[in-house]
Chain A
Amino acid sequence: MLKKINKFEYFAPSTLAEVISLLAEYKGKAKLYAGGTDVLVQMKQRKITPEYIIDIKKIPELNGITYSPEGELTIGALVTHGQFAISKNVPEKFTMLKEASLAVGSVQTRNRGTIVGNICTSSPAADTPPALLALDAGLKLVSSTGERTVKINDFFTGPFKNILKDTEIITEILIPGLPENSGGVYLWHSKITEEDETLVGVGIVLTVDNLENRVCTNLRIGLGSVAPTPMRAVKAEDFLKGKIVDEETIKQTAEIAANESLPRSRAEYRKEMVKVQTKRALSQALKRIER
């Protein structure tokens, strides 16, 4: 069963305009193909049987990592995890997204799989979404009738479900600049299985007023694999804002994050690990601000 995939018609357009016109024409019958590390697996498992495959790998404008003078980082739809992890265009303050990219799969799948693909698959256990939630990333969705930018926080609707229409393509990820005195971290650990699926992933961006006072002025916590979708731990975020970040408040924040997580299987263990990883991530984020 896993040797063959269903028959389909193959397109390899060279412009974005062609892609969106093909998507508009074939609606739900077409699937976009970039890395193929999720799409082909889903086809082998007969979870999807697209009649048309649109290979977007030949569109140069979708392949770029740019850092603007305003501090915004833009990641194109074709950027692979492997490519991102070694990119020199990514400033050090966004290291956490490199950490999340390196948590994905294996060398072989990272060399092919894209960050945008990771978002589109919308697995609750995906690694880059918690980091992107913490970074407050936006996604640019383009179709033949126009474009819209949505926050990643509004993108996921359920396990493997999202708001992307079958006529739309995500062309890029937009990560806003970080204020001064911000630090970000992504921590994860996995089940020990053949695919090492992430059991708990925690992405954090912490901002303090200055290094003397260490009052938390902003905090975003993204959690992976502990709810039907990647989620923000907003109660924990709100708790720490305005407080001095020290051992005690970090501990309390981590407990609140664990309580608001919604794991189904291995719930008790996962909640405990949310606490542990959030605590560690906050301490490390603080250290990164100090550096």
Chain B
Amino acid sequence: MKKIPIKFTINGQQREALVQPNDLLINLLRDELYLTGTKYGCGIGECGACTVFLDDELVLACLILAVTVDGKEITTIEGLARGKELHPMQISFLKNAAVQCGFCTPGMIMTAISLMKENPDPSEEEIREYMRGNICRCTGYTQIIKAIKEYAHSMKG
């Protein structure tokens, strides 16, 4: 099968790649660009571990053909920090011990940031509903919810 050239922006940088039609966005991120922060969990859109932003929209990298990101902008967990300074949501997750094994964390943080953009002051119920597509098998979610709440609170100033 002939490879297809694509151009895209990843975490603010312009890149080019040659992809197979059946390559998924997650294959491109992890195997070509070595951005392994985005995790491969279930592979069928149920766990949320591969959540990234595609043109500012929250999506699952395991359910997108790589060829379709031509001309688009992707942000992964690696694109959140400014130099050595972590994103405030990452800091809030650390402070609240919202990370145990860490496998779900990148996806959780991407979804949490998307929630904050849509609804800066969510109730606990709204947080839980929004985070429905991100599964954690360690924490029992308590500390994750707390981290998001604390972030929202700190942003109110």
Contacts and interface: CB of A to CB of B under 8 A. Distances in A.
Nearest to B133: A106
B68 A2 contact: no
A3 B1 contact: no
B124 interface: no
A37 B111 contact: no
B82 to A, nearest CB: 25
Nearest to A53: B21
Interface in B41-68: 42-48, 51, 57-60, 62-65, 67-68
A108 B111 contact: yes
Contacts of A55: 65, 68
Contact of B45 (A10, A12, A33, A109): A109
Contacts of A4: 22
A41 B111 contact: no
B40 to A, nearest CB: 7
A2 B42 contact: yes
B139 interface: no
A6 B24 CA distance: 11
B108 to A, nearest CB: 12
Contact of B68 (A5, A45, A57): A57
Find the residue from A36, A45, A105, A196 having the highest chain B CB count within 10 A: A36
Nearest to A195: B46
A23 to B, nearest CB: 18
A37 B114 contact: no
B148 interface: no
Contacts of B58: 107-108, 111
A9 interface: yes
Interface residues of A, number: 31
A3 B40 contact: yes
Contact of A7 (B21, B62, B68): B21
Contacts of B43: 2-3, 44
B63 A105 contact: no
B51 A108 contact: yes
A99 to B, nearest CB: 13
Find the residue from B43, B58, B63, B68 having the highest chain A CB count within 10 A: B63
Given A37-B63, A194-B47, A107 B133 contact: yes
A53 B21 CA distance: 9
Contacts of B114: 107
Contact of A9 (B1, B51, B62): B1
Contacts of A195: 46
A141 B57 CA distance: 30
Nearest to A55: B68
Contacts of A44: 43-44
15 contacts: A9-B1, A33-B65, A37-B45, A37-B63, A44-B44, A45-B44, A53-B65, A57-B68, A106-B133, A106-B134, A108-B45, A108-B51, A108-B133, A111-B57, A111-B58
Given A7-B1, A45-B44, A111-B57, 7 more contacts: A5-B22, A36-B63, A36-B64, A40-B64, A44-B44, A105-B45, A109-B45
Interface of A: 2-10, 12, 33, 36-37, 40-41, 44-45, 53, 55, 57, 82, 105-109, 111-112, 194-196
